[in-house]
Amino acid sequence: VKSPVTVLVTGAAGQIGYAIVPMIARGIMLGPDQPVILHLLDIEPAAESLNGVKMELVDAAFPLLKGVVATTDVVEACKGVNVAVMVGGFPRKEGMERKDVMSKNVSIYKAQASALEKYAAEDCKVLVVANPANTNALILKEFAPSIPEKNITCLTRLDHNRALGQISERLKEHVSDVKNAIIWGNHSSTQYPDVNHATVTTSSGETPVRKLVADDQWLNTEFITTVQQRGAAIIKARKLSSALSAASAACDHMRDWVLGTPKGTWVSMGVYSDGSYGIQPGLIYSFPVTCEKGQWSIVQGLKIDEFSRAKMDATAKELIDEKSLAYSCLD
């Protein structure tokens, strides 16, 4: 039997928290033979509700769940953590300036970075879900210098899965036969969903999406905006933001990172740029990656056309602006 892995979920009393904890406890994130201990963190006003989540986890009698700590103490929450899923954050409220929201999140991520730095297990893997996800991850990286930068990532897998979903719907092929879409850049509406290298497996083998869809106009316009604005469409329909799909994508992200991507398949992850594809080093930017033995690497050598180049640069530019806004909040 494997020894348990300790998984931190921050913002655990929230919507995504409520959807993701049973997934983790059922082995969807780390595998069906991997016992887990859950550390749930939220803030004081949500303490009672957080305790209710803990009660339900007990009531669900999950065989893989070896312990639950529900706390509002960030130190207790971060102790011995192997995997940290950072869902907690300050939401943008009506009438709030961008800088005010940024400032709240910078101070949250700075404090939580310091706690992870001091108390998490060595080689802790971090996934930031809370928005602005890329920049929160960057702040976390800055204030947790002893955590290797390769261990700090943000979620763009939901956008990646949305891109696969749109292609699947359009072609009426099952989504599991569609692969190798790419989300470049920021988890925001400037992200660039790119299907230039994506394929669909049909009875005649692996075929490029561009060939099967044929309608370049759709791929270059509506497909891109649908993926970029899917979050807003869900809010409009549900009056709440995506939660089950976000939780599921966070499990996909972590599972593939830890257990590896299938041969010939890549996924999108927000990772620390090393300058690949001309993206400024020092940004957390979403790239296509493959994973093996718990390590991701950026897929190299993909041909980038002019159309893509412009969109990849535009989303990088937004991240550069966010980074300087975030730094201005530190003063």
Please list the active-site residues. 187
Task: State in angstroms the smallest separation of the CB of 165 from ligand NAI.
Answer: 14
* Residue 208 parent element (H or E): strand 205-208
Residue 27 to residue 63: CA distance in whole angstroms: 10
Task: State in angstroms the smallest separation of the CB of 228 from ligand NAI.
Answer: 12
How far does CA 35 lie from the centroid of its chain?
22
Residue 302 to residue 286: CA distance in whole angstroms: 15
Contact string 181-200 vs ligand NAI (x = CB under 6 A): ------x-------------
Residue of 196, 201, 241, 261 interacting with ligand NAI (CB under 6 A): 241
Residue of 43, 69, 171, 259 interacting with ligand NAI (CB under 6 A): 43
Subset of residues 283 to 322 that bind ligand NAI, contact rule: CB under 6 A: none
Q: Is 179 in the site for ligand NAI (CB under 6 A)?
A: no
Task: State in angstroms the smallest separation of the CB of 149 from ligand NAI.
Answer: 19
Closest C-alpha among 90, 84, 14 to residue 49: 14
Contact string 58-97 vs ligand NAI (x = CB under 6 A): -----------------------------xxxxx------
Please, what is the Cα angle at 242 between 48 and 106, to 5 degrees?
A: 65
Question: For residue 17, what are the contacts with CB-CB under 8 A and spacing of at least 6?
Answer: 9, 11, 40, 42, 53, 87
Subset of residues 111 to 140 that bind ligand NAI, contact rule: CB under 6 A: 129-131, 133
Strands 178-179 and 199-202: antiparallel
Strands 205-208 and 199-202: antiparallel
* Closer of 58 and 244 to ligand NAI (Cβ): 244
Task: State in angstroms the smallest separation of the CB of 183 from ligand NAI.
Answer: 10
Q: Is 5 in the site for ligand NAI (CB under 6 A)?
A: no
- 325, two tokens: 């806004």
Residue of 15, 168, 196, 297 interacting with ligand NAI (CB under 6 A): 15
Closest C-alpha among 259, 261, 244, 271 to residue 14: 244
Residue 255 to residue 269: CA distance in whole angstroms: 12
Q: Which residue ranges make up the site for ligand NAI (CB under 6 A)?
A: 10-11, 13-17, 41-43, 46, 87-91, 108, 129-131, 133, 155, 158, 187, 241-243, 246
